[in-house]
Structure 1
Amino acid sequence: MAAPRTTVRFTDDSPEELAADVLVLAATKDGDAVRLVDGHGLSGDTAEHVEQVLATMGGEAGAEEVVRLAGVPGVAAPLVVVAGMPSGGPAPRLERLRRAAGVAARALTGRGSAVLALGQASPEEAAAVAEGAALGAYTFTEDHGVGKATSAKTPLGEAVVTGVAAGEAQALGAATTAVVDAVRYARDLVNTPPNRLYPESLATSVTERASGTAVEVEVWDPERLVQEGCGGIVGVGQGSARGPRLVTLRYAPEGAGAHLALVGKGITFDSGGLCIKPGASMITMKMDMAGAAATAAAVLAIAELGLPVRVTAYLCLAENMTGDLAQRPGDVVTMRGGRTVEIINTDAEGRLIMADGLALASEQQPDAIVDVATLTGACIIALGDRTTGVMSNDDELRETVTRLGNEVGDTSWPLPLPEEIRPSLDTHVADLKHTGERSAGASVAATFLREFVGRKGEGDDAPSIPWAHLDIAGPAYNDKAAWGYSPKGGTGAAVRTLVALARSYAS
């Protein structure tokens, strides 16, 4: 059962006068007192009343705190909700606005409309509030049965964000909705169970989603993958009755001045192959295609926004199973471009399919390549559940991707590629093996991927194509409680980072 989606709208009308089910405000701690965040747009008497009630109720303006007030004088809405928005801390103001709006929206299921006046003082801040509200209200009810579906509350119907001039409202609404819809699409894909989402059906979903847009889609089936020498994707997928696919998305607007290539990991279910995972570790493995989901969603958003940048994306799709033809430790596969790889651990399958994608992307000689993958548990050990690890062969690109990720709310942190790791990939039976030393697992995997990034021009002395690797193993899927605007389940991690990166190349 498809859930309704929260719509967003911007206005410059007074928040006190707007007719809605709820008025949402934000509060912060000022010394020992709790006060409304500046820029709320309320009259002095109304604001003073709200702050007095908050003090009486013992509000602390904590990050996940929501206080409900009824019958606030001077306010048309019958209910006022005050979300906590702590000041300071590592999160920038835009992200704190997103999170506060998301917390409020999560508390407003079943409500038809809400006016949000969280102190946004610019179009960028207003967009952050709208984004947080729409993403915080997200629900996935596709697989609810009759009993569950009838009892589930619908998400907030409309988020009306104040503080935006009439002349800017329509364009800002369209741009915000394009990004929000992309994140929601990525979340939907990640949340879809693996008996319904497998390489072929994922390729079909992306093809249908791109129909009628400026994005062209091409799908390679297993036979074509063999013909094209994509031994990594073929090898990982050969243990499943559901064959692998490679989906290429092309967006090439007139006047594009730069070419960005994207590669997404799409393991629709990861059993670990013959090096099988423990049963408990498989429960969330439908999310192992989150990189491909984010990549596809980002390209569609970039096209909808009409950004003047050429984008080519490769979705590497396979199901890692234990069927009769499953690859074995000790097998040697030939990758796109002719390099041979010795298989060591069949549960390190993601880097194999990504290597074919990176080789294909390199053939196009783009200005930069960015890959997105739920690649290593080691990255979760290093950075936790909410932070993307960013690794790169180019200092400027690594810094740009990390900065943009943090600005848009995809918390990111750079990790190194130490030179001493590469020798651990050496083997006497092939050009290289796909796993190395046990320590620094995230950097080991990225070091393997770097081997398949091509050069700008001919010859061994030509510079490498700038490349960044985003390991989203932690933030791609939230199997704990919802927080901020992140629901339980798929989060849509990296979608906004990729859109922001495309914007930077477009400008």
Structure 2
Amino acid sequence: MSSSPDLELLGAEPGADALSDADALVVGVRPGEGASDPVLVGPTSVLGELADELPGLVALLGGSGKAEETTQVPTRGAIGAPVVLAVGLGKEPAGEDTAGETPDLAEQVRRAAGAAARALHGKAAHVVTTLSGVDLAAAIEGTLLGDYEFTAYKKAPESAPTELTRVALVGDGGQATLTRATTVARYVAAARDLVNTPPNDLYPDAFAQRARTLAEAAGVSVEVLDEHALAEAGYGGVLGVGGGSSRPPRLVRLTYAPAHPVKKVALVGKGITFDTGGISIKPAANMDHMTSDMSGAAGVVAATCLAAELGLDVEVVATVPMAENMPSGTAYRPGDVLRMYGGTTVEVLNTDAEGRLVLGDAIARACEDSPDYLLETSTLTGAQLVALGSRTPGVMGTDAFRDRVATLAVAAGDGGWAMPLPEELRADLDSRVADLANVTNHRFGGMLVGGIFLREFVADDVPWVHLDIAGPSFNTGGPHGYTPKGGTGVPVRTIVAVLDDIARHG
């Protein structure tokens, strides 16, 4: 990731002198009614007399105010900044009865700020933004995440591009808001970095060591179980999946324990550092996307460290299985029976349904800590994309906790939709030789079946949620809003929003 710019609060109504050395001024606009010009959103004091002319100039240059549209308006000396970048927020947020058809105001600001940062990337070093006068935290998150770039494996250009080094924020909100939003963006970027790191460098042991580095820097305690410790403790799912690779599996345990926690929350994240499908090998097309199959683990590691840095009053214990699913002479086979952690046996019918096997082990272990809640997240099923598309995670689990998490996920900006776990699907996981099979013999309700399988390993008295982030965690299309191509950082903000909500309300 490129280095983060310095942030400066300018107050609610700075004068035009705040633009004296700025390369660009970012302002928000919405569509006008009918054929009228776009409407400015947010503080206008820095624009001076240009405020009256700007909507017409934006319209003249083809700008309409639709969401994420950017229009560059030369100022010709009217203000200190040579360019005003007008970015669309879209229509006013809709009411609650429209089922989320229009993003809420904070998410509109995040996306607009991200679109502005992408439009100015490599062109502006010092930017002033008035989007922060609409929602300070959202403008910071959107700007920093929109400016994100993963360049670790690219040659340095012959002439260094202009980097965004300073962002001046018009508006009030206080240093605490600035610090928190900056910290959130930093850990979302850390998760993106992990997901974007290629699998030849992010194999299980390397991932475990990077998790250790992040955790220790945040004051989080770390335990790493190698393949010998996993065998001694009986982690049959992790060992089975990881057995085909020359790079053995790991299980990482992270613990954040504040002095007076309100509750204890178990986090579990799938860390398949690369998934070939094993013996049930995947098609070659797009197999490179499976570098992202550890997105759930990246999100859990980053969110645990973020909770510690924010000082949330909730104890967090993360259990993160890491394995590489490869075909070889030592790989597990269709027809094998694995004895999972805790004793449940699973007949393997498809080695490409490996995520639920490592997660079954991890969930069973996590429940031994007697958590008040358990939240697990994984790139579990392609069926998530079929059901909900590439940007909306599926949220399954205990009804009340499921609905709570889905609401918080949408507010955080990651999105989420509550899904059922129909009881009639459980019988389809019955096995001829074991306690259950890892897949059904049909293709119906695949995302839901994944959740039903995981439910078998959750202790009866633990409210739990499964977040299927197969599509939302890795953007295979073009960038949009504050979301780049590649790793997105979903669901770091959701997890932290849930932890914060539990810390506040139990």
Question: Normalising by structure 2, what TM-score?
Answer: 0.94
SS in 2 for 1:30: coil
For residues 363-442 of structure 1, what are the structure 2 equivalents within 5 Å? 363-392=368-397, 394-436=398-440, 437-442=442-447
Retained in 2: the 8 A contact 1:113–1:156?
yes
For residues 97-108 of structure 1, what are the structure 2 equivalents within 5 Å? 97-108=109-120
> Is 1:134 the counterpart of 2:144 in the alignment?
yes
The corresponding residue for 2:154 is 144
Retained in 1: the 8 A contact 2:27–2:42?
no
Retained in 1: the 8 A contact 2:16–2:46?
yes
After superposition, the C-alpha distances for 1:167-195 in whole angstroms (9 at most, x for unaligned) are x2x22221111100110000000000111
Count of residues in Structure 1 that have an aligned counterpart in Structure 2: 489
Please tell me the residue identity of whatever aligns with 1:17: D
Separation of aligned partners in 1, 2:488 and 2:322: 20
The corresponding residue for 2:244 is 239
> Is 1:113 the counterpart of 2:110 in the alignment?
no
The corresponding residue for 2:95 is none
The corresponding residue for 1:501 is 498
User: In 2 relative to 1, CA 72–26 (structure 1 residues): closer, same or farther, beyond 3 Å?
Assistant: farther
Retained in 2: the 8 A contact 1:118–1:129?
yes
37-46 or 87-96: bigger deviation: 37-46
Retained in 2: the 8 A contact 1:261–1:312?
yes
For residues 161-176 of structure 1, what are the structure 2 equivalents within 5 Å? 161-164=169-172, 168=174, 170-176=175-181
Separation of aligned partners in 2, 1:300 and 1:57: 45
User: In 2 relative to 1, CA 55–385 (structure 1 residues): closer, same or farther, beyond 3 Å?
Assistant: same
Retained in 2: the 8 A contact 1:216–1:251?
yes
Retained in 2: the 8 A contact 1:417–1:443?
yes
SS in 2 for 1:210: helix
Separation of aligned partners in 2, 1:448 and 1:374: 15
1:152, CA displacement in angstroms? Answer: 6.9
SS in 2 for 1:470: strand
Retained in 2: the 8 A contact 1:241–1:323?
no
SS in 2 for 1:219: strand
The corresponding residue for 2:4 is 5
The corresponding residue for 1:160 is 168
User: In 2 relative to 1, CA 506–41 (structure 1 residues): closer, same or farther, beyond 3 Å?
Assistant: farther
Separation of aligned partners in 1, 2:244 and 2:166: 46
Retained in 2: the 8 A contact 1:46–1:72?
no
SS in 2 for 1:214: coil
After superposition, the C-alpha distances for 1:320-345 in whole angstroms (9 at most, x for unaligned) are 00121100000001111111100010
The corresponding residue for 1:57 is 61
1:26 to 25, 28, 31: 28
Please tell me the residue identity of whatever aligns with 2:494: T
The corresponding residue for 2:96 is none
Retained in 2: the 8 A contact 1:390–1:470?
yes
After superposition, the C-alpha distances for 1:411-459 in whole angstroms (9 at most, x for unaligned) are 111111001010011112011111124200000011000000013xxxx
After superposition, the C-alpha distances for 1:259-303 in whole angstroms (9 at most, x for unaligned) are 011000010000000000111131111000000000000011110
SS in 2 for 1:235: helix
1:247, CA displacement in angstroms? Answer: 0.4
How much identity, in percent, do the aligned residues show?
A: 44
> Is 1:85 the counterpart of 2:73 in the alignment?
no
The corresponding residue for 1:305 is 310
Gaps of 5+ in 1: 456-463
Retained in 1: the 8 A contact 2:281–2:352?
yes
> Is 1:96 the counterpart of 2:108 in the alignment?
yes
For residues 482-493 of structure 1, what are the structure 2 equivalents within 5 Å? 482-493=479-490
The corresponding residue for 2:470 is 473
Please tell me the residue identity of whatever aligns with 2:128: V
Retained in 2: the 8 A contact 1:476–1:493?
yes
Gaps of 5+ in 2: 93-100
Retained in 1: the 8 A contact 2:62–2:71?
no
Please tell me the residue identity of whatever aligns with 2:23: D
